[in-house]
């Protein structure tokens, strides 16, 4: 691909501000279909990262493309809260149908961070309170308010001081819980009450958490964690905001990650997989909470873009018709079992964990010259050289992330596991 005779790499280096990113992968993408991508030289890749866990129905699913094209031909933008747009209303109704409990009214944004910021504002408006509790190692976006509730020093670097009135509770971890000292005994959940009592003024609007902590390294809480926390929050009149930006839309094997934990959030945020790659986010709440905003208090020019909303309706149709939640649940289990076998051979792996097609492979430091985080980057490169795209993340940068499009097949995943195994051996 050239612009005025120059390659995309050259243009990127010269004109795209790459300073805040850890490094662009040396793949110049030309097209994608399903779980596969092709570069400008015609080289094929199996995509097991889906654009950071976004293209839920796969690259350019024909039904998503068609829905977006149809809407584009009608009109692209008019202000979805200035005028009524049929497809925006349709999407909101569909979201109410698939969301847990009595969540009903959605406010649409363009991204995950905006959805979280809006949810925080709504919690303040409804409760009349100002403070928040978030989780250590949790991640909620890169804007000022979302970084304030992000429990990760590296992400927050050079941005402070952040919004005051944010306290952090210990991160839950099913197998290696810092507070519980190993396998989780829910002491970490009980600690939320201590945080309320010792670290806040009691004026807490909401507790915000991801059902599975994605950027922290795909960390899965104890199955009773959220039930226990919700009991504490209810006693103190604190709302539960569940951040489903990464876990939503089938990623964990259910439509929303919180469904694994048997609690109903008061407010839920969404983005990433909602529209198969079109920019869209939103937060949904029960009507009595949603209606706490006063006229003029919140708006987004592009929020609820009709083309993105049409793509989102088609995404929900595809998730249902192609049974993608079921595919994610089944292949997730299958993948964990296969990776456990790889882990038994590969000494670098300290844990394999996840839910549905949201799987993390944690590498450990083994005292050599190469750290686990460095090896993770090497494994990603070795996979890429073999035609497989994976992610790297985690609080310490030592987790390989497998979060493919939900349309991926068992056969494709089997080839991914074989490639990963090879890459681990090559970098051992």
Ligand X SMILES: Cc1ncc(COP(=O)(O)O)c(C=O)c1O
Q: Which residues bind ligand X (CB under 6 A)?
A: 111-113, 116, 139-141, 210, 214-215, 243, 245-246, 271
Nearer to ligand X, 145 or 348 (CB): 145
Nearer to ligand X, 53 or 419 (CB): 53
Q: Where are the alpha helices (DSSP H) in 370-428?
A: 372-385, 410-427
Tally of CA atoms within 13 A in the half-sphere of 87 that contains its CB: 25
CB of 138: closest distance to ligand X in angstroms? 8
Nearer to ligand X, 211 or 253 (CB): 211
Pairwise CA distance, residues 233 & 240, whole Å = 7
CB of 249: closest distance to ligand X in angstroms? 13
Nearer to ligand X, 131 or 215 (CB): 215
Nearer to ligand X, 263 or 382 (CB): 263
List C-alpha distances in Å: 189 to 20, 101, 120, 237, 359: 34, 22, 21, 17, 23
CB of 135: closest distance to ligand X in angstroms? 11
CB of 163: closest distance to ligand X in angstroms? 16
Q: What does the CA dihedral 258, 192, 207, 222 come to, rounded to 10 degrees?
A: -10
CB of 84: closest distance to ligand X in angstroms? 26
| Inter-residue contact 270 to 281 (CB < 8 Å) | yes
| Inter-residue contact 380 to 392 (CB < 8 Å) | yes
Nearer to ligand X, 135 or 349 (CB): 135
What residues have CB less than 8 Å from 323, skipping those under 6 apart?
Answer: none
Nearer to ligand X, 170 or 282 (CB): 282
| Inter-residue contact 267 to 119 (CB < 8 Å) | yes
Based on C-alpha coordinates, what's the Rg of the chain?
21
Q: Name the closest residue to ligand X (Cβ).
A: 112
DSSP codes of every residue in 153-189: HHHHTT--S--SSEEEEPPP-SSSBTTTTBS--SHHH
CB of 298: closest distance to ligand X in angstroms? 17
CB of 132: closest distance to ligand X in angstroms? 14
Nearer to ligand X, 36 or 266 (CB): 266
| Number of residues in the chain | 428
Cα dihedral sign, 334-395-278-92: positive
Nearer to ligand X, 24 or 78 (CB): 24
Nearer to ligand X, 271 or 314 (CB): 271
CB of 164: closest distance to ligand X in angstroms? 21
CB of 204: closest distance to ligand X in angstroms? 20
Residue with tokens 């009149």: 237
Pairwise CA distance, residues 215 & 202, whole Å = 29
Whose CA is closest to 222, among 171, 167, 152, 169? 171
Nearer to ligand X, 189 or 271 (CB): 271
CB of 209: closest distance to ligand X in angstroms? 9
Whose CA is closest to 22, among 425, 405, 383, 374? 374
Whose CA is closest to 56, among 297, 250, 346? 250
Residues facing 209 on adjacent strands? 242
DSSP codes of every residue in 30-92: EEEEBTEEEETT--EEEESSHHHHT-TT-BT-HHHHHHHHHHHHH-S-S-TTTS--HHHHHHH
| Inter-residue contact 273 to 248 (CB < 8 Å) | yes
* DSSP state, residue 370: S
CB of 225: closest distance to ligand X in angstroms? 16
| Inter-residue contact 203 to 382 (CB < 8 Å) | no
């Amino acid at each position: 691909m050239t612009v005025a005779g120059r390659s995309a790499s050259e243009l990127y280096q010269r004109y795209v501000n790459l300073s805040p990113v850890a490094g662009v992968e040396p793949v110049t993408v030309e097209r994608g279909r399903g779980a596969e991508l092709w570069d400008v030289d015609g080289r094929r890749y199996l995509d097991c990262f889906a654009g950071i866990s976004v293209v839920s129905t796969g690259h350019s699913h024909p039904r998503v493309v068609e829905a977006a094209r149809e809407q584009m031909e009608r009109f692209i933008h008019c202000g979805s809260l200035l005028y009524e747009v049929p497809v925006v209303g349709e999407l909101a109704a569909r979201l109410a149908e698939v969301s847990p409990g009595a969540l009903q009214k959605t406010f649409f944004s363009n991204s995950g961070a905006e959805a979280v910021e809006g949810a925080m504002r709504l919690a303040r408006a409804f409760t009349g309170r100002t403070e928040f509790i978030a989780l250590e190692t949790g991640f909620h976006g890169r804007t000022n308010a979302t970084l304030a509730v992000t429990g990760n020093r590296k992400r927050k670097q050079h941005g402070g001081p952040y919004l005051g009135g944010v306290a952090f509770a210990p991160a839950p971890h099913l197998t290696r819980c810092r507070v519980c000292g190993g396998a989780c005994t829910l002491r970490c959940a009980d600690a939320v009450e201590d945080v309320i009592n010792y670290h806040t003024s009691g004026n807490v609007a909401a507790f915000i958490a991801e059902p599975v902590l994605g950027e922290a390294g795909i960390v899965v809480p104890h199955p009773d964690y959220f039930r226990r926390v919700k009991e504490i929050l209810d006693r103190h009149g604190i709302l539960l905001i569940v951040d489903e930006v990464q876990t939503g839309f089938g990623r964990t094997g259910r439509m929303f990650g919180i469904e694994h934990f048997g609690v109903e959030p008061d407010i839920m945020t969404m983005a990433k997989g909602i529209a198969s790659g079109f920019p869209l986010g939103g937060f949904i709440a029960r009507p009595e909470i949603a209606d706490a905003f006063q006229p003029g208090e919140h708006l987004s020019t592009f929020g609820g873009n009709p083309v993105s909303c049409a793509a989102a309706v088609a995404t929900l149709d595809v998730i249902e018709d192609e049974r993608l939640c079921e595919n994610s649940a089944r292949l997730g289990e299958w993948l964990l079992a296969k990776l456990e076998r790889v882990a038994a051979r590969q000494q670098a792996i300290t844990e394999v964990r996840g839910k549905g097609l949201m799987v993390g492979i944690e590498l450990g430091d083994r005292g050599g010259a190469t750290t686990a985080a460095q090896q993770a980057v090497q494994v990603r490169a070795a996979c890429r050289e073999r035609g497989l795209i994976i992610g790297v993340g985690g609080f310490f940068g030592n987790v390989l992330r497998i979060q493919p499009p939900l349309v991926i097949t068992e056969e494709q995943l089997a080839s991914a596991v074989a490639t990963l195994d090879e890459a681990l051996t090559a970098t051992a």
